[in-house]
Amino acid sequence: MEDTQIHGLLSALPQPALLITGRERIVGSNGKADALLAHRSGGTAKTPAPSLAGRHLITVIRQPSVIEAVERAGETGQNQRARYLGSEGRAESTYQVHCGPVALNEFRGVLVTFEDISEAEANDQMRRDFVANVSHELRTPLTALMGFLETLKGPAAEDPAARERFLTIMLDEAGRMNRLVSDLLSLSQVEAASRRRPSQPVNMLDLVEDTLSGLGPVAEASNVTVETVLPDQPVSLPGDRDQLRQVLTNLVENAIKYGGRDNTVTLRMERLTRDPMLRQAGVRIDVTDRGPGIDPLHLPRLTERFYRIDSHRSREMGGTGLGLAIVKHILNRHRGRLKITSDLGEGSTFSIRLPLQQ
Tell me which residue of 193, 285, 189 sits closest to 237, measured CA to CA: 285
* Span interacting with ligand ADP, options 12-20, 61-69, 116-124, 323-331, rule CB under 6 A: 323-331
* Span interacting with ligand ADP, options 50-58, 59-67, 209-217, 286-294, rule CB under 6 A: 286-294
The distance of closest approach from Cβ of residue 262 to ligand ADP in the complex, given in angstroms and rounded to an integer, is 16
Rule CB under 6 A: is residue 248 a binding residue for ligand ADP? no
Number of residues lying near ligand ADP (CB under 6 A) = 22
- Estimate to the nearest angstrom the gap between the alpha carbon of 357 and the chain centroid: 26
Rule CB under 6 A: is residue 355 a binding residue for ligand ADP? no
Rule CB under 6 A: is residue 320 a binding residue for ligand ADP? yes
Rule CB under 6 A: is residue 324 a binding residue for ligand ADP? yes
Closer to ligand ADP by Cβ: residue 208 or 325: 325
Q: In whole angstroms, what is the distance from residue 27 CA to residue 70 CA?
A: 14
Binding mask 195-234 for ligand ADP (x = CB under 6 A): ----------------------------------------
Distances (CA, A) of 281 to 230, 276, 352: 17, 9, 14
The distance of closest approach from Cβ of residue 184 to ligand ADP in the complex, given in angstroms and rounded to an integer, is 12
Q: Provide the 3-class DSSP secondary structure of residue 102.
A: strand
The distance of closest approach from Cβ of residue 277 to ligand ADP in the complex, given in angstroms and rounded to an integer, is 21
**Subset of 111-170 contacting ligand ADP (CB under 6 A):** none
Of the candidates 348, 352, 353, 356, which one interacts with ligand ADP according to CB under 6 A?
Answer: 348
* Span interacting with ligand ADP, options 57-65, 75-83, 234-242, 288-296, rule CB under 6 A: 288-296
Query: Counting Cβ atoms within 10 Å, is residue 325 exposed (0-12), middle (13-18) or buried (19+)?
Result: buried
Rule CB under 6 A: is residue 314 a binding residue for ligand ADP? yes
Rule CB under 6 A: is residue 349 a binding residue for ligand ADP? no
Q: Is residue 239 within 8 Å of residue 200, measured between CB atoms?
A: yes
Q: In whole angstroms, what is the distance from residue 54 CA to residue 64 CA?
A: 20
**At a CB cut-off of 8 Å and minimum separation 6, what does 39 contact?**
87, 88
Closer to ligand ADP by Cβ: residue 9 or 144: 144
- Estimate to the nearest angstrom the gap between the alpha carbon of 146 and the chain centroid: 32
The β-bridge relationship of strands 347-355 and 337-343 is: antiparallel
How much of the chain is in helix, strand and coil states, percent to nearest 5? 45, 25, 30
Closer to ligand ADP by Cβ: residue 25 or 315: 315
Q: In whole angstroms, what is the distance from residue 173 CA to residue 266 CA?
A: 31
Is the alpha carbon torsion for 202, 203, 207, 208 positive or negative?
positive
Distances (CA, A) of 68 to 100, 185, 195: 13, 46, 44
The distance of closest approach from Cβ of residue 318 to ligand ADP in the complex, given in angstroms and rounded to an integer, is 8
Q: In whole angstroms, what is the distance from residue 127 CA to residue 185 CA?
A: 16
Of the candidates 294, 330, 338, 352, which one interacts with ligand ADP according to CB under 6 A?
Answer: 294
Rule CB under 6 A: is residue 302 a binding residue for ligand ADP? yes
User: Could you list the residues that contact ligand ADP (CB under 6 A)?
Assistant: 250, 254-255, 258-259, 289, 291, 294, 302, 307-310, 314, 319-325, 348
